[in-house]
Amino acid sequence: MTSRTAYACYAGWVVVVAAAYYAFPEAHLYTWAALGYSSAAAIVAGVRLNRPSRQLPWYLIALAIVCFTTGDSLYNLILARGHQPPYPGVNDALYLLVYPLLTVGFLYFVRARSGGGNRTALLDALVPTVGFGLLAWIYWIAPFTRSEELSMLQKLASIAYPVGDVLALAMMLRIITTSGRRPGALTAIGTGIVGLLLSDVFYGQSQLNSAWVLGGPVDLGWIVFYAAVGFAGLLPSMRELTEPSPSSGADSSPRRIIWMASAALIAPVVLLLQWAQGLDDDELGPLTTDLPVIAAASALMFVLVLARVNGLANVNRRARDRELALREAGALLSSAATEQDAVQSVRQAVATLMPASQPCHVRLLESVGLPPGRGVRVAPVADVPELPVPPEYDHVAYATMELPGENPRVVTVLVAAPLFVLRELRPSFEALFDQVAVVLERINLTGEVSRRDTEAYFRTLIHNASDVILIVDDEDRIRYASPSAAGVFGYPDLTGMPLATLTDQPVALGRILAGIRAGRPLDLDGLDVTAVCADGRSLHVDFTARDLRDDPTVRGLVLTIRDMTDRYVLEKDLYQLAFYDELTGMANRVLFRDRLEQAYGEAQRDDAELAVLFVDVDDFKEVNDTLGHAVGDELLVIVAKRITEAVGTGRTAARLGADEFAVLAERITDASEAEELAARIVAALAAPVEVSDGSGRTHIVSGACSVGVASSRDAHSGPELLRHADLALHQAKGADKGTWQRYRGELHTDMAQRLETRVALLDAIDAEQFRLLYQPIVNLRTNRVEGVEALVRWQHPTRGLLGPYHFIELAEESGAIVAIGNWVLRESLAQFARWHADDPSGSPSYVSVNVSARQFRTPGFVDRVRAALTEAGVEPPRLLLEITESLVLRDADQVWADLRTLRALGVRMAIDDFGTGYSSLSYLREMPVDVLKIDKSFIDDVLHSEKQRVLVETIVALAHNFELRVVAEGIEDHGQRAVLTAMGCDYGQGYLFAKPVRPEEIPALTRVEPALVK
């Protein structure tokens, strides 16, 4: 099966299944699973079909989709059985596993395409990533942390989604900013990531508001993610994502600079908008707590942008130096009379172009066996053994050119230097070697002319010259024209015609020729002039001239003329493409930005006012997805026409990209004029649009739009005015679509206390500010205290004693949890040893210590446990390590090996919070553990919920069947204890028996009579 057939079949499959998903809600479980698993299958099939050089990243992406789909399927299955899925649940954990898998896969792409050493691309990706990360922190993550409706676990899950999204976005930006061609597969993956981000945003918000509904429009983003990534795997261009990308130098395009500048200004704009609101002290609470976060992000982006600007300054400086070197080389080449002179000029030019301390080797060779060709080639020396290159060089840039004549010659100009230098200077070498080709042709022709006595023989030698060669007498009449002149100018014979006949600039041309005859410097050589053909057509030509009046065989000026019309047309087309939208003919983002800067400067100077309107077509994506891109393009053309008509003359209307438009209204009387213009645009686009799908059928679609309005009175720069208009547009789209909104600075801030706590946490480790409390674990049948669980607290110097809720999450994020956990392990064993030394018979039988997954996976954890036991003098069976179920889901083989090693040492193991994570009977049967701890959430409703009671009873029975002891956590009243005792639960802990207490209080609890333990 070919790639084309494969992705055609896949596209049809996706369309059919997606349609079935929305058409048959009762089949969501099956249609959604079919969409997801088929996407992963498409990637695997694409790997088998296209055979990329590196297959692992694609398999990681496929695995990520499998996790995603499995999570969705589990979610849908719970719904299908009539239950409401918990949030967070197992499905959320599967969703979150998608992000590290995607990140690792994308890292492989980055390493494969650029080797990870592209500093420019890294800076270009980091700046918007930090900016978007700050926005995500303020407007997405922080609301979850402050929500009073969400539990701690729900907050953690809700925060994990945006963190994963920002991470995926960062990796996607890093791939996109890599220089070189962007394959279609990359575009498809980028489209899928955008869909994933959008759906995650709305999913997180709906969970925050408890408004999540299956089968809604939010699912479209995930469908796009499935379809686009699967489609990317089938595209042949997917091979290019794991192959090196050729460097094309630093990207200094205005769009990328605007993008970086906009991202860098996110943090100060947040602060500025908050300041502009004039909030009082009470309202500034969230802002002041988040100032360090915003300041740090601002400083980081400032440093990144400075580094990028410094790189651009270096690039521009080198470009100026190269331009000067090329000009000097052109003057030297113009005066070169021999090939040796030309080679010397090339050597000087190349030496000037080369970066400091970079060696090079320049030669002019003849008849080395390479065929003539156009342009400069850069190749390894091993690929062109015909070129004699010194052994210290591995790569060479060379150009071959054919010199016409009776015996044509093929000449090769080569420059050997380090590869990165050759790639960077390749455009300069193109321009230099083009000049060399012209000069060598002229030198060759001049030599041939001087060696021949007759004009007829001279004409034969230059018959194959591609450029037009003219000999002009003292009266500026053409005395000779090469055969190519007839094809270029359309005149059968130019002999005897005035040279002025061939140009519409006869006066300027006469001055040039007079200067050449007077011996003045040829600084006008290479002038771009317009020639007129016999049929009236105009040609843009480039010419050089040499005075050979003293040569008896020539007796005139020799003009070498090259037709540059195609290049002129190309440059004109490039200008059109650079500043105008190809589809609508409107100004594009670059031209709009340029005019905005000019207009803003004039407004500041004249104390005038201007406005920017951002226009976005509502629900345009639905038109593209349902009717196709051709219909979407037709709709955009009609929308552009209506906007232009509504705006009128004297104002700039531009298409910024996709379905986004902008209007620049200069010299308005006040903001109301801009608002009237916005209302006019909304009204003009409110009328339905009739479009054709290309097959003879027409469709009525909506062209309605939302408009954001911003005035220069509220902005301090043109870019800030753009951002204000964009914010107003988002406000309009967030309210009722098909309306306009004026900019209002209502932004919120985030908590700065989180960063402050994170910094203080690192100091707390060195300052020994942590304390241990111990909670008894009681035998439910005898009421005796059998053991204690060590619980860490933070004795904060200003906030007092803090529970784990205040710092454990931050410790996990920063990695400080490893140092804290090691301290807890050592201190709890030392305290246990002190209890036994003071009263061996009245001390607890064992001490239980919680171990985080990150701490457990740290290399050398088993050795640290062994060392702590030895240091404290405690027997291994006296130590019970509590781990979570999720620990074994990553690096499972190594984790299980460490568990078995600890068991062999004598240390006992417990599964903590059983039932809240990835509960699995196979893990429970095979995992080397001794104790099962039932989470408090199961115990809370054991008296009031029959289902909960049956569930707990089942867990207890299951644990006993596997020969495991059971500890029930969170027992708070006698009824719970009685039910658990009747179920056969072995041990319990909770406030019914004792709260966590200081270590000196434990001996009294262990010595108390059984009936008195409360």
DSSP 906-925: T-EEEEEEETSS---HHHHH
Structure tokens at 456: 């007829």
Q: 262 with 719: CB under 8 angstroms?
A: yes
- Residue 661 is predicted with a pLDDT of 94
- Residue 563 is predicted with a pLDDT of 81
- Residue 93 is predicted with a pLDDT of 85
H or E stretch at 269:
helix 266-276
- Residue 133 is predicted with a pLDDT of 66
E strands present in 959-1008: 965-969, 987-989
Q: Is the pTM of this model over 0.85?
A: no
Over the chain (1014 residues), what is each successive 10-residue block's mean pLDDT?
A: 76 88 83 89 88 87 90 83 80 84 80 60 60 64 68 77 76 69 82 83 67 74 88 86 61 58 64 60 52 66 67 69 75 77 79 79 76 77 82 85 71 83 77 78 71 56 72 87 83 86 80 79 58 83 82 82 80 80 90 91 88 91 80 91 89 90 89 90 90 81 90 86 86 77 59 66 86 94 92 91 86 86 94 91 90 89 94 94 74 80 93 68 75 90 89 91 92 92 94 92 76 46
Q: 708 CB contacts (<8 Å, ≥6 apart)?
A: 613, 614, 725, 726, 727, 728, 729, 730, 731, 732, 740, 741, 742, 743
Q: CA 534 to CA 494: how far, in whole Å?
A: 11
Structure tokens at 98: 């998608």
Q: CA 630 to CA 633: how far, in whole Å?
A: 5
Mark residue 338 as left, alpha or beta (left: phi above 0; alpha: psi -120 to 50; beta: remaining).
Answer: beta
- Residue 897 is predicted with a pLDDT of 87
- Residue 751 is predicted with a pLDDT of 36
Amino acid at 963: E
Q: CA 831 to CA 275: how far, in whole Å?
A: 53
Tokens 């004699």 sit at which residue? 388
Q: 804 with 750: CB under 8 angstroms?
A: no
Q: CA 265 to CA 259: how far, in whole Å?
A: 10
H or E stretch at 786:
strand 785-796
Q: CA 512 to CA 124: how far, in whole Å?
A: 48
Q: CA 52 to CA 243: how far, in whole Å?
A: 8
Q: 182 with 235: CB under 8 angstroms?
A: no
Amino acid at 665: A
- Residue 548: how many other CB atoms lie within 10 Å: 17
- Residue 417 is predicted with a pLDDT of 87
Q: 811 CB contacts (<8 Å, ≥6 apart)?
A: 761, 817, 820
The burial class, CB within 10 Å (0-12 / 13-18 / 19+), for 601 is: exposed
- Residue 569 is predicted with a pLDDT of 78
Q: CA 816 to CA 509: how far, in whole Å?
A: 78
- Residue 896 is predicted with a pLDDT of 84
Q: 705 with 718: CB under 8 angstroms?
A: no
Q: 310 CB contacts (<8 Å, ≥6 apart)?
A: none
Q: CA 340 to CA 810: how far, in whole Å?
A: 71
What's the distance, Cα to Cα, between the start and end of the chain in Å? 74
Q: 696 CB contacts (<8 Å, ≥6 apart)?
A: none
Axis crossing angle, helix 671-686 with helix 629-647, rounded to the nearest 10:
140
- Residue 3 is predicted with a pLDDT of 67
Give the 3-state secondary structure of residue 723.
Answer: helix
Of 234, 232, 207, nearest to 95 by C-alpha is 207
Of 587, 563, 562, nearest to 575 by C-alpha is 587
- Residue 846 is predicted with a pLDDT of 94
Axis crossing angle, helix 254-264 with helix 285-334, rounded to the nearest 10:
160
